[in-house]
Structure 1
Amino acid sequence: MSLTTQQPGTGEQVRPGWWDEPFQVFQTNLREIDAGLDVERTLDDVERHGANVWLLNVGGILSHYPTGLDVQTRNPHLDARPGGDLVGDALAAARRRGVRLLARMDFSKVAPAIADAHPEWLYVSPSGERQVFEGLVSVCPSAGYQQERLFDVVDEVLDRYAVDGFFFNWFGFNEVDYAGRVHGVCHCAACVAGFRSRTGLTRLPERAGDEGYRQWRGYAAATIEALTARVRAHIAARRPDAALILGTAADVLFHEANNAIGRTLWPYATGEAVSALRSARPGKPVLVNAVAFWDMPYRLADEQPEMLGQYLAQAISRGANPSTYIMGPTGGIAYGGLAAAAAVTRFHRDHRREYTGLAPAAEVGLVRPDPLDDDGRYGTGTAEHRGLLTGLVERHVPFDVVPVGALETRDVDARFRVLVLPDLPSLSPGAVAALDRFVRGGGSLVATGRSGIGPDGSVVEWFPGRRVVEVAADRDALRSSYVRLDGGPGHAGDPAGSSAGDAAGTAVEGAVLVPRHGRHHRLAWRPDVVGRHLLIRSAPYGPPEKAYGHVAGTEHVGGERRHGAGTVVQLPWVAGTAYLDTRLTRVRDVAVDLVVERLLDRPERRLPVTVEAPEQVEVVVGRSAAGLVVHLLNHSGQRGNGYGPTLPVHRVTVRAAGLAGRPARALAGAASVVDDGEDLLVRVATVAELEVVVIDDGAPATDGRPS
């Protein structure tokens, strides 16, 4: 019998197991002084938290069992423990309770004696130095310790303990240490040879920004991916019922939700990350590990409770399994946020049917740019992506995130009606071909900024634009210029051609204008394009006595074109970035309205799910064994660089088109269900932090797994 099945459209293998059902994790990340851990008391706390899986330190840097291998260091504090085996005691206690045990491993560093005996295993900085932190020496994933001896450690654990799976911490290349110091690209002999073999380049870059760094990141990612796949296959062969929780080649995909000094809060980070993982690899479950302390250097200071709860609420809304991570034994460090984490964990546990097979079901796909895709002049499309994502959240437009690299490997035309391309500086030929098929088959594209525009100013031949006339990116050149929103669409064939707007020379006072802030690629449009919005060129803005002279233009800022059975709308202006900078809702709505119009381009002119609520309520639509699942997340607690107490939102209405008469309920609080013609209305009394509306619509559940 085969242990794996192939995920549709890829060569990637999906291995079924206990991890396909909803599960909840609690991680006790132990220090070496915690070898005397009371396993029964710990399991009491794990179960009270709502978890049925315990993630415990087992081996790697330090073994919490009596290892017989010379590549591990046995924890000396085990001598004070009766029997000298924390892992054996923990596993036996967990088995008695029906709790699963995961082995936390860390192969990123070794003790100095091991490092001295095997210098060929170590990370080497561009200047030839070791990387040492708190006496431990970093190793390199390209070299023999992780490529070979790691398997000896895994085998020893599997030989002795029937653990339910493994998680590998810090499984990557050590360019940065725990203190945030940048050490740079590894220059060990294995990396030099491997990089040359993969890229043909003889010179390794030293750090981010150097020539060849993008190729280095490709080599590093491929190395980790291949090693992860080998580990996964090894574990599967030895113990088919044990999972590997790690990167994209693992059985369970992993994301850590945490805070960091100096990092500006991106409030939707956890939901975005999970959505991207689920879109790219729909057959695999995801685990989100929410960190209970505030930042790595402050492990004894607890995270704001509402922030910890928000991590996990976003995680489960997108179909991930929740995990809470503390330092040391339970009941030790005062982590005040654990109650908030436990509330979400128990909610997930208590609604097993609703979360079984929960899969994304939005009709809009928001493509996420590669953060390394930087052309050196205009930066990445990350700001544009975040601006558009924020706008979709605030307008209650359900969406799922699609990594740009997944466009050519995923069957996007089977998942979405609209794809949004946020200022993507380059699209691979495979991605362009996939998008071509998507639109020809009836899908719609909304492309902003540089999306579809090549470095030479050429435009994808089936896009509305023909060529770039000018790139307006200079702040001085953009000042006192506008995008006009009123006036119907008109023919846009050429920037100098006529439009449906006012005649040239007519004053624009009284028109609806928004600042043309940010970068704008002015395009010459193809003859069959319908124009969207007019460009109002600059005029004096000061002193006040001279602040006049604007005239209505004839050039359109955006254009719409049919392609096959679908439509492409091109807005070569970074409206999302402009919204992040200005927070003008009219700027936001320029792009979001284009998405909504494409969704409404259907005979019934209705959206499947609409929500009446304040902008602070995010709507996430999925489908599970229970039916249509609509998560409502209250972001009203967002403040500055974190989250505080939320303001309860009252009288929220969820409208499900065409589902009148179907059973529906809210999981967290009170709701009334009524029919409105053909539609079903679920009136939710209050959304505190999280509410979930479930509608039994009679449609079959789909989780993206092969049947």
Structure 2
Amino acid sequence: MRILSLFLLLSCLSEGIFAQQSSPKFWWKQNNLRVIQTNLPAYEAATLNPDSLVKDLVDFSANTLIINAGGIMAFYDTKLDFHYKNPWMKNNMLKEVVDKCHQKNIKVIVRFDFSRVHESIFKAHPDWCYISAKNERIINTDMYVVSINAPYVQEKAFKIIEEVIDFFPVDGIFLNMPGYQVNNPYEGKYHGIDQNEYDKKRFAEYSNGKTLPTVEDKADPVFQEYLAFKKSTIEDWSERLHKLVKSKSEQIAICTYLDKHVDIIRHESQTSNLPYWPYSASDNVSNARNSFPNHIISNASIQQISFQSRYNAAEPEEVSIRLYENIANGSGLDMSMMGDMRGYEDERNYPVFKKIYAFHKKHEAYFGNYKSVAKIALIAPGSWPNGDPMQEYRGIQLMLKEAHLPFDIIEDAQLANVADKVKQYQLIILPEITYLKPEAIALLKEISKAGTNIIATNRSLFDSPETLKELFGAKIINKDHDGTGFYLQPNDANILKRFTLQKMLFWKFNLGLYDLSGTDKKLFPILSKGRPGPPEIIGGHDPINYYAMGIKEFPQSKNVILPINIGKLYYLHGYEEHKNILLDAIDYIFPKAKELVQTDAPERIEVILQAYGKNIANKNIGNTDNGLIVHLINLTGFSGNSYFDALPVYGRNFTIKTSFKPSKVYNLATKSPVKYTWKDGFIHFQVAKIGEYEGIVIDK
């Protein structure tokens, strides 16, 4: 066993460290996935035809299938008495699917969901299931949510996975809904921290006798310890799963939404609440790819509009944007639907999938082997942001996207883990990043001294007053101050160059009051609400001796503090004056930011610039010396509430900074040459027409 463990460790190390120099050892490392996931309702197991399913996968240019296997219910003839068998199941269905897929060189990843068990299992083992502080269960019809620390997840799940791997020559396993359950997401109801006796016992062991908390209170040190406990137990389970799977075969990929002990990190682009987010796929892929550079990322376009509307698909134009953003940012293609492709209730997206999957297949040598050239990093508040931090973060993304400023996204918790990468950026933006690990804060201080500029917005780093003082010269007086009715006054035309025709900028949402006496420059004096009312009495907007922007200058860098909800305000309302605050700040502290991409293309043309290497099967990966690709994704059809066909854009000019003199420039889809000039490290060319997507290749 020690020899096997050592072998696996060395294999993983060699794969992570030497992947840049070697051919891909594992099939998924080629990073050319074209996934179709069939989330089968139980009754469709009776009607699914393996032959027609495989024909559809081939017709849609898919090379990977995700299909149900077990957990909630078995889609095969299980021999385990604790594994509920799908009553509609045909015994040979899964075997036939796997065999027929393999005949067409299609990989099969089987889906498990260990978040719930059937009522019959619950009645036999109620101690395996979730129970709230109010003695409530989480139930969906006849399925009961389980407790992660109870025997079903800790022991039985491994036996189920082992049985499937032993029965079928699968290429991977996908774990749906891993981790602790506190919500019923299908009904939108929160139930609270699981109070199962197994959870209580294991937490007591972990915390030297502490009582499991019943309330999620971040100010409670016991709850903070509980968060660490959850992370530890999930990683322990994932590590044991990894050992089991890899002992069966190294070539079985582990895919889920977590990052530890997995091979493929999966994310999801879903239709969400207003305002809709057309950059969802770019957001997800850039975040995961830059936060976990040794993993393959697969971002799924979720067909359903919501859990309550499973059979109504997202709009075709939205799906098209998601798929193009996937491949432009370094993911393969991935879609998830209810049931198989025959007799589907909403087939409007089928032409989109067929077209873009075929495009990826034809040109896959140009995808999946990228290195970012961005000099700006935007720090994300987690991998699944929500609430105020999400709105602040998305608003800053929107500003950068519309200004065509290339940037990478890195998850806040991963900063210190990718320190070498972080040190290469010239600007770091913290959009309401309220907490960072000590080692991440130390990294920010180090790179600031070395020449990296930093911008922090709203309540960023409020729990580290010393860091705010050292990096930004700022001290919090009131971080939660309602700014409704207040104004900001542009006061320095040498820095705030976009406000020549404005003397007052309206505000709402948070407007933090900070002592900025430690800064070198104070901008945007805050003006009081004055006298609201009819026109006859308004006025009286006087300075309150606070400022909305502070700049602290160092020998090699400049840092900006914006203790205001600037991102949220732009995300929800979209007034350019608020975007201009950030753009003027960037121009002042990092004027070379706009050199990398210069264009007269409209703001709704998403520009993604990548260094690329030819991604050819069984050849070296990691070498990105072939040149550059400019991905142009047309979002002009997005209106805020609806998605329409993108409007073609004609005759737009681009100037791209390059470190080499190009040998040729051409359109990826047509291979037709693009006229260009090159001088002093910059290439200039015009794109005759931008349809829904264009790829411009600049070869060395």
The normalised TM-score by structure 1 is 0.86
Please show how residues 589-600 of structure 1 align to structure 2 within 5 Å: 589-600=580-591
Alignment of 1:185-334 (within 5 A): 185-199=193-207, 201-206=210-215, 216-246=226-256, 247-249=258-260, 250-259=262-271, 264-333=275-344, 334=346
| Map 1:209-608 → 2, pairs under 5 A | 216-246=226-256, 247-249=258-260, 250-259=262-271, 264-333=275-344, 334-370=346-382, 380-411=388-419, 412-454=421-463, 460-469=468-477, 471=479, 473-475=481-483, 479-484=485-490, 486-488=492-494, 512-525=503-516, 529-540=520-531, 542-548=533-539, 556-563=547-554, 565-601=556-592, 607-608=595-596
Moved more, 534-543 or 220-229: 534-543
Distance 2:302 2:237 in 1: 26
**1:502 — aligned with what?**
none
| Residues 286-337 of structure 1, C-alpha deviations (whole Å, 9 max, x = no match) | 1112222322222222321112222222222221121122222322114211
Q: Contact (CA 8 Å) 1:486, 1:512: kept in 2 or not?
A: no
Whether 2:99 is the aligned partner of 1:89: answer no
Identity in percent: 23
Could you tell me which residue of structure 1 aligns to residue 148 of structure 2?
141
Query: In structure 2, how many angstroms separate the alpha carbons of the residues matched to 1:113 and 1:617?
Result: 54
**Other-structure match for 1:637:** 637
Structure-1 residue corresponding to 2:43: 33
For 1:326 and 1:558, locate their aligned partners in 2 and report how far apart those are by CA, in whole Å.
47
CA deviation string 1:38-76 (max 9, x = no partner):
212111111111211111212222222222111212333
SS at match of 2:147: coil
Instruction: Give the stretch that moved more between structures: 365-374 or 441-450.
Output: 365-374
Q: Which residue of 1 aligns with 2:688?
A: 685
Distance 2:375 2:216 in 1: 40
Which letter maps to 2:450?
A: G
Cα shift at 1:223: 2.7
Write the letter of the residue equivalent to 1:609.
V
SS at 2:298's partner residue?
strand
1:536 and 1:315, CA in 2 relative to 1: closer, same or farther beyond 3 A? same
After TM superposition, give the deviation of residue 650 of structure 1 in Å: 2.2
Q: What secondary structure is seen at the aligned counterpart in 1 of 2:393? A: helix
Q: Cα RMSD (Å) of the superposition?
A: 3.2
Deviates more, 1:317-326 or 1:677-686: 677-686
Shift of 1:4: 0.5
Q: Which residue of 2 aligns with 1:501?
A: none
Q: Are 1:59 and 2:70 counterparts?
A: yes
2:129 to 95, 118, 122: 122
SS state at 1:346 partner: helix
2:56 and 2:501 mapped to 1: Cα distance? 65
Partner of 1:324: helix, strand, or coil? strand
> What is the aligned partner in structure 2 of residue 11 from structure 1?
none
Q: Is the 8 A contact 1:232 1:251 kept in 2?
A: no
Residues in 2 aligned to 1:298 and 1:175: alpha-carbon distance in whole angstroms: 22
Summarize deviations over 1:235-258 as a string: whole Å, max 9, x none. 112111110001212110011222
Partner in structure 2 of residue 616 of structure 1: 604
**SS of 2:471 mapped into structure 1:** coil
CA distance in 2, matches of 1:161, 1:446: 52
The Cα of 1:26 is off from its aligned counterpart by 1.2
Aligned residues: 662
In structure 1, how many angstroms separate the alpha carbons of the residues matched to 2:547 and 2:138? 56
Unmatched runs of 5 consecutive residues or more in structure 1: 9-14, 491-507, 698-707
User: Structure 1 residues 210 and 436, CA, compared in 2 at 3 Å: closer, same or farther?
Assistant: closer
CA distance in 2, matches of 1:283, 1:406: 13
CA change 1:562–1:122 in 2 (3 A) is same
Instruction: Tell me if structure 1 keeps the 8 A contact 2:441–2:467.
Output: no
Which piece of structure 1 moves more, 510-519 or 62-71? 510-519
Secondary structure at the aligned position of 2:259 is classed as: coil
Separation in 2 of the partners of 1:449 and 1:210? 20
1:692 aligns to what SS in structure 2?
Answer: strand
Name the residue aligned to 1:160: 167
TM-score (norm 2): 0.86
In 1, Cα distance between equivalents of 2:480 and 2:368? 50
The residue type paired with residue 569 of structure 1 is: V
SS of 1:142 mapped into structure 2: coil
Q: Deviations over 1:459-512 (max 9, x none)?
A: 53432324235557234xx5253231543359xxxxxxxxxxxxxxxxx99753
Counterparts in 2 of 1:161-176, with a 5 A limit? 161-176=168-183
In structure 1, how many angstroms separate the alpha carbons of the residues matched to 2:477 and 2:193? 40
1:680 to partner: Cα distance = 1.2
Amino acid in the other structure paired with 2:173: F
User: What is the one-letter code of the residue matched to 1:255?
Assistant: H
Match of 1:675 in 2: 677
Where 1:94 maps in the other structure, the secondary structure is: helix
**CA shift at 1:582, angstroms?**
4.1
Structure 2, gaps ≥5 residues long:
1-6, 18-23, 614-625
Q: Distance in 1 between matches of 2:388 and 2:511?
A: 15
* Cα separation, 2, equivalents of 1:511 and 1:129: 57
Change in 2 beyond 3 A, CA 1:352/1:188: same
| Contact 1:292-1:338 at 8 Å conserved across structures | no
**Aligned-partner Cα distance in 2 for 1:162–1:509:** 67
State how far apart, in whole Å, the 2-side matches of 1:596 and 1:31 are: 53
